[in-house]
Amino acid sequence: MFESCRAHLAAQGTVRRPPNPGPVTDVPDTLTLRRHRDLIGRERRPMTRWIVLSALGLLCLLGLLNLFGQRPTTSTTTANGARLEVYSPSHLRGGLYYESRFTIHAQRDIKDANLVLGSGWLEGITVNTIEPSPLGEASRDGDLALDLGHVPASSTYVLYVQAQVNPTNIGHRETDVDLYDGDERLVHIDRTMTVFP
């Protein structure tokens, strides 16, 4: 059937032959055949390439070894009948979501527990949620004071803070944590946080 249609069209002179393909298209203006196809001239500086690739590989290896963040570390201090444990990353990157856990082991009755987070915990950090929600929040000399209420003796109180590092936040800051019973400081933990770009 197709052959008969083709023969009919050929008889009428309406069948056209495809044009003969000419030479291959020209080389784009930004490329040179000697450099990009034949690789002439690339053998002159092989050390430069190796140095750049080695530096990139070293950067990836340091990231795998947690130099640039996210793996949490634990800081624990016991004093005045209470033990405070902070589980949080000390190295972070811009834009990273992370979680910090604050655990209070009350060896004695803490009538008015206040957890005071140094200003470094909030500087350039967006706090998404604090669970369980504290009874109240206040400022204590520029630091964030979270009112946790009564923590009975021989009990454990766990507080979670989910946050995100703002992308423009870079640097090194103090992230100390204090546990108070009213106005009496029970426990102090020295911590620092480093934020990489």
Quick one: pLDDT at residue 75? 95
Q: Is residue 12 predicted with pLDDT exceeding 70? A: no
- Residues 59 and 86 occupy one common structural domain: no
Same-domain pairing of 185 and 103: yes
Alpha helical stretches, state H, the chain: 2-12, 46-64
pLDDT tens-digit profile of 148-190? 999 999 999 999 999 999 988 888 999 999 999 999 999 999 9
Q: What was the pLDDT predicted at 3? A: 57
Report which residue type is found at 50: W
> Which has more confidence, 137 or 6?
137
Between CA 76 and CA 86 the distance in angstroms is 6
CATH number at residue 124: 2.60.40.3670
Please check whether residue 21 lies inside any domain of the structure: no
Short-list 87, 82, 136, CA closest to 104: 82
pTM of the model: 0.70
Look up residue 119 and give its DSSP letter.
Answer: G
Same domain flag for 95 and 125? yes
Q: Give the model's pLDDT for residue 188.
A: 96
Sheet holding 91-93, edge to edge: 91-93, 192-196, 171-174
Amino acid 20: pLDDT:
56
DSSP track, 11-53: HHT---PPPPP-SPPPPPTT--IIIIIS-TTGGG-HHHHHHHH
